Amino acid sequence: MRLKTKITKKRYNILALIFGTVVINYLDRTNISVAASAISESLELTTVQMGSIFSVFGIAYAALQIPGGIIVDKVRLRFLYALMLFLWSVATLFQGFINSFKLLLGLRVSIGVFEAPSYPANNAIVTKWFPETERASAIAVYTSGQFIGLAFLFPVLTLIQDKVGWRGLLIISGIIGIIWAFVWYALYRDPDQHNTVSDAELKLIKDGGGFSNKIKTTSEKKEKFNWDDFFEAFKHRKLWGVYLGQFCMGSMSIFFLTWFPTYLVEYRGLDFIKSGFLASIPFLAAFCGVLLAGFSSDYLVKKGKTPEFARKMPVLIGLSLSTFIIGANFTDSTFLIILFLTIAFFGNGLASIIWVFVSLIAPKRIIGLVGGVFNLIGGLSAVIVPYVIGVLVQDGDFNPALFFIGAITVIGFLSILLVVGEVKRIELKEEGSKK
């Protein structure tokens, strides 16, 4: 029996569920970076081959963003997310049994395939469950899962690998994800299917711009894929500004999620166990950055500031701070290296609420598709950046790689500042005519 007047807070339970899923997602993306040095030694891989292993995940992940976004618009997220979690976790587990470069490449591809719809799904869930005035905060909370999770996981993962080896690390990671798939299926429901959500909370969500899938009756036609909708995702300048900004913001993230532990161990000469603890510091800073950005952005909206100021300012400040990564090239002090990288990743955390632009700008009917395109172009950073770094550092000098990352963040800053324009939802003709 649904409560009538009491405003429940079930949306925060859903947010906690997404947060946990993001932690698992990034655990299975990045455990390979912790194990990279050991895998490289065990399988006798070059830096270019290791860069290929990092990049091949991104190729599959990026290539399936648009199909993944379309699937998110059409399939119930309770089932879809549980299935994705289970499949990518099984692939993660199998990595612990491989003995060849080609098999590892294949499994990394499969993880990219099964994780592809995850972030469009996250954004669709938050758009369903949260009014617009709370959306940046909600996005900040679940995005922070990748940072806070890894901040604590990096030391834990290094200790696990020290005890059971890189194979044991990957097997344990896979088992955790498989368990979480069943947790997701047991607990997640859309707002209209969640029996303990009150009518008052549903009204709060709907009146605030949230929306949910309604139950289709037999008299309703099943919505078909429309190629006009597909092309709408590529027609608008403001969307391209957001897409490019995501690519540039993602480039910094990808460095930290792939080459960062190797940089500390092999190029800065830090002890493997010590590097795990030092690596957690920038992730904690990024966690603080993304929460600060989300809550401050929503606060500014509630205080009547324009969306252009409230939504863009954290992203622009964040991309500016991300250029501090270049400072690590000019010192041999471990303290200063970690300081520069921490400031840079704090900035990356601030910029990570860029997902809010998809939620606020994309036409409602194709929000999953636009999220897929957004993540496709952002995901190209996971294809290009790890491989380019592998090429740049093959002579033993990491400085060009950090200059490369810093330059990309400048491009992202200019894209958000000059290309996005007014932060206002794009209305398709059919949507506008219904008003």
- Cα(117)–Cα(15) distance, integer angstroms: 17
Torsion of CA 370, 65, 125, 253, to 10 degrees: -100
Cα Rg for the chain, rounded, in angstroms?
Answer: 21
* C-beta neighbour count of 176 within 10 angstroms: 15
Q: What is the pLDDT along the chain (435 residues), one digit of tens a residue?
A: 455 566 677 888 888 899 988 888 888 877 887 888 888 888 888 878 888 888 888 788 878 877 877 788 777 888 889 999 999 999 999 998 988 888 999 999 999 899 888 877 888 888 888 887 787 778 778 877 777 777 777 778 888 888 888 899 999 989 999 999 999 998 888 777 777 777 777 777 777 766 644 434 334 444 555 667 778 888 888 889 999 999 998 898 888 878 888 888 888 877 666 666 787 888 889 888 888 887 888 788 778 787 778 888 889 999 999 999 999 999 989 899 999 999 999 999 888 878 778 878 888 777 777 877 887 788 788 788 888 998 898 888 889 999 999 999 999 999 998 888 777 787 766 555 444
Question: Taken in order 400, 151, 21, 107, is the CA torsion positive or negative?
Answer: positive
pLDDT at 90: 94
What would the two tokens of residue 224 be?
């078909």
pLDDT at 217: 38
pLDDT at 209: 66
Domains of the chain: 10-211+226-433 (1.20.1250.20)
pLDDT at 222: 46
- Cα(139)–Cα(179) distance, integer angstroms: 24
pLDDT at 376: 79
- Report whether 117 contacts 69 (CB < 8 A): yes
What would the two tokens of residue 29 be?
């993306």
Please state the pTM of the whole predicted model: 0.69
Question: Taken in order 159, 164, 166, 172, is the CA torsion positive or negative?
Answer: negative
pLDDT at 27: 82
Of 66, 24, 373, the residue nearest 74 (C-alpha) = 66
Q: Between the CA of residue 67 and those of 25, 63, 72, 360, 371, what are the distances in Å?
A: 19, 8, 9, 21, 11
